Amino acid sequence: MNIAKALIFGGSALAISVLAGCKAGGENQGLEYAPQMYHSVAYEPLTQIKDESQGSWLSTREDGKGEFYNSNGYNPHGMNMREPVANTVPRNKQGYLPYRLKAFELEQAALIENPIESSEEVLKAGEALYLQYCNACHGKGGQGDGKAGEVIGGVANLTGGAYVNLPEGHIFHVITKGKGRMGAHGSQIPEESRWKIVHYVKQVIQGQTAAAPAATADSTMVAQATPAN
């Protein structure tokens, strides 16, 4: 009886210590079961394993390199991602260059022309966007009588006073960066949609005819008026 107990005790202690030996800790990454499941061999843009022998013990690769090697020897730093061409600036998905004006740089912003040409379609899209993003405060007609506007107070009446003469770039800037009691909407509304809202505000809410389309309806116009700092 005692011998059986001792065997069970001794056996369990042995099993526990053997299993504990697999545990990861400190520098020891532990024993991995099915390591392919932990180590992604996918190409990652920035991180990479440059040591060609990494994972060679389980490699099935035809090029004879280790299973975990995932660098690109042709690119700088062995990265899989290519570096941007020197002295270039990436455009966003809509083809726009970065908008670099700071919130207080309203005067420069006012010089920027609307890069998209107005059309019935644009105005329709602008209306939908206006109702979605501006109506709550500025109200359907832009008179500053939206439901949320009643609570916030001090909402600009876009149909009155000096607001009627605001340049398009100014309105775009206010939507993007906010002003005074109005918050910035730049992160919520894509650039092109913001310009559509501007068309809608100018032409429908303020009842003005469309400004002549920018000489080249291209976002580089925005870049020229945008100091690079």
Which positions lie near ligand HEC, rule CB under 6 A?
A: 133-134, 136-138, 148, 152, 154-156, 158, 163, 166, 171, 174-175, 179-183, 185, 197, 201
Concatenate the DSSP letters of all residues of 47-65 into one string: -----TTTTGGG---TT--
In angstroms, what is the minimal distance from the CB of 118 to ligand HEC?
15
Q: At closest approach, how far in Å is the CB of 175 from ligand HEC?
A: 5
As measured in angstroms, the least distance from the Cβ of 205 to ligand HEC is: 9
Q: Give the nearer residue to ligand HEC in terms of CB position, either 55 or 202.
A: 202
Taking the least distance from each CB to ligand HEC, the nearer of 49 and 137 is: 137
CB of 100 to ligand HEC, least distance (A): 20
Q: Which of 113/138 has CB closer to ligand HEC?
A: 138
Q: Please, what is the minimum distance in Å from the beta carbon of residue 117 to ligand HEC?
A: 19
Contacts of 126 (CB under 8 A, 6+ apart): 196, 197, 198, 199, 200, 201, 204
Give the C-alpha separation, 50 to 209, whole Å: 61
Closest CB to ligand HEC among residues 39, 179:
179
Q: Tell me the H-state helices in 86-190.
A: 106-109, 120-133, 135-138, 147-152, 168-177
**Residues 67, 61: contact at Cβ < 8 Å?**
yes
Alpha-helical runs (H) found in 30-112: 106-109
State CA 4 to chain mean position distance: 66
- Closer by beta carbon to ligand HEC, 49 or else 222: 222
Nearest residue to ligand HEC by CB is 180
Question: Residue written as tokens 């040591």?
Answer: 51
- Per DSSP, 165 falls in state G
